[in-house]
């Protein structure tokens, strides 16, 4: 059992760190304060580090990275700018679904532009009445002579207001009356499609939106995967997404912990650095432990995914649940170390907390993860 990165992983990490420190870190606070979207050129630059299309097969334009390597890069990205991380992982999620189930025609037409960062893609699953109960999607797609006519609303969609295209999960209904969840590729330019922004508390440089489909005609050729079998495709990549969310939480936790350590060494009270006080040291020790246990569970889940282990789904749920709970505790303790300064925008720790808060909800709430974990050992579903 080896708990170290190999030379290739170390080289990738260090290269990404240098770029993020020089080009990205200096603008993060300003862009987030102004709710300005991440610059397009920075999204496109992620291609050079294996982050856009990282896990896709090389034949589809990806890098074929194992989850362990991709996750490590995601953590580095989240450590500096969670909004940029969200844009990258959302685009990758849509690209993975397209790569897995898309026809050669769809992949040739859309994948190169998504993987270059030129075209922003979204993943549209959640709805006003559908979150954890994703199998009961209400958005409808009725069969037509040329494809599908889609009507419905999608809510809380990352990049929903800026995406050029995306994958949308719908209830398809054939003329024969047969129904099932299917996945379709849509374009913003399609008549009847519109979007509107949704305000949120964190990651303000990654837009969130509501999508509205009003008699949107989607060609039959835009079906991804098998008709009526789209939910299996969604579940597959939501599981990988949970591991990505766990690594994202790890990155933010590292940033919050590092900020606390620096402040504890710089801030002087009663004639000495506050890092010399026992209760501050206790907070630092607790943060260290939470960061390290999150790292170990992230690596464990990534390794299971890479090996195709039968317990990979349970481990992804466990890593996601632990790391996203842990990052909130780390961010809160970091704010406590900073005292009154931590509550202000003069230091980044209040942003770390805001950016991390949604992670315990994304890709299935932590309460749902607990049910999935328990089901894996009890063999009893609490959802049926």
**Are 73 and 106 a contacting pair, CB within 8 Å?**
no
d(CA 361, CA 344): 25
Among 121, 119, 116, 122, residue whose Cα is nearest residue 44: 116
Full 3-state SS string of the chain: CCCCCCHHHHHHHHHHHHHHHHHHHHHHHHHHHCCCCCCHHHHHHHHHHCCCCCCCCHHHCCCCCCHHHHHHHHHHHHHHCHHHHHHHHHHHHHHHHHHHHCCHHHHHHHHHHHHCCCCCEEEECCECCECCCHHHCCCEEEECCCEEEEEEEEEEEECCCCCCEEEEEEEEECCCCCEEEEEEEEECCCCCEEEEECCCCCCCCCCEEEEEEEEEEEEHHHEECCCCEHHHHHHHHHHHHHHHHHHHHHHHHHHHHHHHHHHHHHCEECCEEHHHCHHHHHHHHHHHHHHHHHHHHHHHHHHHHHHCCCCHHHHHHHHHHHHHHHHHHHHHHHHHHHHHHHHCCCCCHHHHHHHHHHHHCCCCCHHHHHHHHHHHHHCCCCCC
Which residues are known catalytic residues? 363
Among 231, 242, 205, residue whose Cα is nearest residue 317: 242
d(CA 51, CA 73): 7
């Amino acid at each position: 059992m080896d708990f170290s990165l190999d030379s290739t992983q170390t080289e990738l990490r260090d290269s990404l760190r240098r770029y993020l420190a020089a080009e990205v870190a200096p603008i993060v606070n300003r862009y987030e304060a102004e709710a300005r979207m991440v610059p397009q050129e920075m999204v496109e630059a992620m291609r050079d580090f294996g982050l856009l299309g990282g896990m896709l097969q090389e034949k589809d334009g990806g890098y074929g990275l194992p989850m362990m390597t991709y996750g490590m890069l995601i953590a580095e990205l989240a450590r500096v700018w969670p909004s940029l991380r969200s844009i990258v992982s959302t685009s990758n999620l849509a690209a993975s679904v397209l790569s897995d189930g898309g026809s050669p025609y769809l992949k040739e037409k859309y994948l190169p532009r998504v993987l270059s960062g030129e075209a922003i893609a979204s993943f549209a699953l959640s709805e006003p009445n559908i979150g954890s109960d994703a199998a009961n999607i209400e958005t409808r797609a009725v069969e037509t002579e040329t494809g599908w006519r889609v009507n419905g609303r999608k809510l809380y969609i990352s990049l929903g207001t800026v995406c050029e295209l995306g994958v949308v999960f719908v209830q398809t209904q054939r003329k024969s009356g047969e129904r099932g969840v299917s996945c379709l590729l849509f374009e913003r330019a399609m008549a009847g499609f519109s979007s509107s922004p949704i305000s949120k508390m964190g990651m303000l440089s990654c837009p969130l939106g509501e999508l509205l489909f009003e008699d949107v005609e989607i060609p039959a050729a835009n079906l991804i995967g098998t008709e009526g079998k789209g939910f299996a495709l969604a579940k597959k990549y939501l599981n990988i997404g949970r591991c990505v969310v766990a690594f994202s939480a790890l990155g933010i936790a590292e940033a919050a912990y590092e900020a606390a350590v620096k402040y504890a060494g710089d801030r002087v009270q009663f004639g000495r650095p506050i890092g010399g006080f026992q209760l501050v040291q206790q907070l630092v020790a607790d943060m260290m432990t939470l960061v390290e246990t999150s790292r170990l569970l992230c690596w464990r889940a990534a390794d299971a995914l890479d090996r195709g282990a039968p317990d990979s789904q349970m481990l992804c749920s466990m890593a996601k649940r632990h790391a996203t709970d842990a990052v909130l505790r780390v961010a809160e303790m970091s704010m406590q170390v900073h005292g009154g300064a931590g509550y202000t925008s003069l230091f980044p720790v209040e942003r770390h907390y805001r950016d991390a808060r949604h992670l315990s909800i994304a890709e299935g709430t932590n309460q749902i993860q607990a049910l999935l974990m328990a089901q894996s050992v009890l063999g009893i579903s609490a959802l049926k």
